[in-house]
Chain A
């Protein structure tokens, strides 16, 4: 089970075995310093921006009370449904000089409002921040809800105002979650490919892609990938360490309505405005723009080819979902019955894949795959068998999304205690019968969650699909990328809306479940 991930990692590490000096020299002089600086700069700014947005909005919607609070507390999660590469071209289309938003402003008011140019570093940061802040938002919101109730009440009894409560009580207590959230965002930013591609912003991920597909130097792509891997490992280690600091207290002590700080009217106005702007920019504006593009020629767009793409994406996602869920189940059950070091290490390695950027994974995996193909060729088979087949894609998905499926399944499986097993066996129900009558019903929800999450993730996935797909195979995500990189945004709008719709499924489930927990 941990084999694919290990293979990928080994693959990347073999990068430095074969150095193409000419290409490498070119890269080191022109591409890499720029890419590294760009990447680091982006990661830093996005981390700061998302933290600021997430912490402020989480605090406002959890601890304070103002008109619209209840609405915003779930509405602010919605931008998570929009993948970065969709957010990117939707925002650019809406906010650029000839875009709908500015045109509208110019036509409705006589003077032209000078908005900053969206085709800039600021634009990339904006797009990524809007799509990633909900991760931190959720973590920090949970922290505020469960951690600070007692201390907030003490603070209020001592006469602290809203602002003082924020700085001196809530913020310090929520720090582990804030740090954890921003590290997660950093990992996602390092891995991002689609968003930066739309803005033509050169990062390490685009450098990897270009090295391979434009410069035709797979080896240099591999070398850049190993560099990116270095950064990823660093951030990943920090993220694991920060998780240890997140102590979980009894969640029953949550903030109730009466404990919230009611904001005076001026502050309430600003709170509402702040949340409103975020929600508008992160959800209403991009969705609105996509609808604006898609609706006028809807009948023209719903062609056979469109449905073929949908079917292709759909079947691929279903296939991946099935394979990955089955493997995750096997892994979870194996880990449960064997309490050995080997078992726990297997689990750790298998779930490591989530941290690997898609681009790194794609190139890394192809090394051992190519090697296997070579070997098969020597045995006399007509190659390439593995390369360029759907197998590589599925393998890459397994590495990347195993953690996504494993986590909810393992969570449920923990509830099946040894005494439940013993009780069942003492009642003469064991083996397959026990699996069917006891284990499966108890983990059913976890399995379904795993399936939904993997399905949605595979539908939205871009870099791996782009780099490992069989010739001529297209998913909705790839189609959107191709169209948007050619500037054909109107035609990309409909597939984009389809992806957003799919992306809304887990977000809606999340919101509904959070509501139920609150009750």
Chain B
């Protein structure tokens, strides 16, 4: 109970069901004030429904949502969106086409004098670098500019929480990174608590302090980006986030696992993985960054595919026993297909699944 009071946004066993379909089951997580969270998952996993529920556009069938110590959603009670002071940014920007930029930004400012609302809007426009376009109509702006205006509009009334629904999906890839940085910067500067929904893990990594991975209505893991990548809680998370392969292994003790690439000591992980004993057949997660290219190494593998990525090559390597691994290698190591290269393993996080 006391932990709930500390957190700024708190979801407790939230479930949503329509007709006979269970969209979300037992979702629980929390955010501190000023934190940026991200809901990550494939299409249809329920992340958008969850976001809409936090915004007040969906009803809960079970559970409770608390914002700043006020219960805003629970079974049989949903505070209307217009009373929540929760801002929203959409994939299609949703700018009001009949208003220009500054009029859009000012839209949610109520009860302020003309001077106050102008000052506030201009301040935000300056932060997003669109001061010179304040009188321009939305259809004359580029996609990135429109999204920035949408962000300013949502932030203008100083919302308690900001929700972003796949905000960069409609934009060019190069633009996404720079805009993502800008958005994160602005959110941190205004100390706005935010939740973003995306299916793109790179966006999630770039923007979020905490990431929640969802699959089919279940929240699988809620953790920092680093932990999700290096300490995934199950095979789905390991598979969905980042790249990697699963090698077969056998536990020689409760903490040591034997694979074709060697023997590794496993550090203690989350509770549900601890019921592994000696003799269990397991899968070991090997990420591309776990394999180092070393010409002098005895252990070799054959290159079966290669993808140039600018600074690195992503090599698909085949081991002697025909198991495959991935390796990220600095790109000046240019090796041809069917060439054998020396590799060494440097696994800091040994991740094992049954």
Binding site for B on A (CB under 8 A): 415, 417, 419-420, 422-430, 437-438, 441-442, 444
A423 touches B83 (CB 8 A): no
Q: Produce 1/0 per residue, B160-203, CB < 8 A to A.
A: 00010000000000000000000000000000000000000000
Shortest Cβ gap from A360 to chain B (Å): 41
Q: Which residues of A contact B88 (CB under 8 A)?
A: 422-423, 426
Q: Which residues of A contact B21 (CB under 8 A)?
A: none
A422 touches B108 (CB 8 A): no
B96 touches A420 (CB 8 A): yes
- Residue B336 at the chain A interface, CB threshold 8 Å: no
- Residue B14 at the chain A interface, CB threshold 8 Å: no
B110 touches A442 (CB 8 A): no
A442 touches B97 (CB 8 A): yes
Shortest Cβ gap from B104 to chain A (Å): 9
Q: How many A-B Cβ pairs are below 8 Å?
A: 63
Shortest Cβ gap from B89 to chain A (Å): 9
Interface range on chain B (Cβ under 8 Å from partner):
20 to 34
A422 touches B96 (CB 8 A): no
The dominant DSSP class at the B interface is loop
Which residues of B, 92-111, contact A by the 8 Å Cβ criterion? Answer: 92, 94, 96-98, 107-108, 110
Query: Which one of A423, A425, A429, A441 lies within 8 Å of B98 (CB-CB)?
Result: A441
Shortest Cβ gap from B219 to chain A (Å): 23
A423 touches B110 (CB 8 A): no
Query: Which one of B85, B90, B157, B159 lies within 8 Å of A423 (CB-CB)?
Result: B90
B97 touches A429 (CB 8 A): no
B98 touches A442 (CB 8 A): yes
Shortest Cβ gap from B50 to chain A (Å): 15
B87 touches A426 (CB 8 A): yes
Query: If A427-B153, A428-B157 touch, does A420 touch B82 (CB 8 Å cutoff)?
Result: no
B94 touches A422 (CB 8 A): yes
Q: Which residues of B contact A425 (CB under 8 A)?
A: 80-82
Shortest Cβ gap from B324 to chain A (Å): 43
Query: If A417-B92, A419-B90, A419-B92 touch, does A426 touch B81 (CB 8 Å cutoff)?
Result: yes
Sampled A-B contacts (16; CB under 8 Å): A417-B92, A417-B94, A419-B91, A419-B92, A422-B55, A422-B90, A423-B90, A423-B94, A423-B153, A426-B87, A427-B153, A427-B154, A428-B157, A429-B82, A430-B80, A438-B96
Other contacts beyond A424-B107, A430-B82: 9, CB < 8 A: A422-B55, A423-B88, A423-B94, A425-B82, A427-B87, A429-B107, A441-B96, A442-B96, A444-B98
Shortest Cβ gap from A450 to chain B (Å): 18
Shortest Cβ gap from A411 to chain B (Å): 14
- Residue B228 at the chain A interface, CB threshold 8 Å: no
Q: Which residues of A contact B123 (CB under 8 A)?
A: none
- Residue B57 at the chain A interface, CB threshold 8 Å: yes
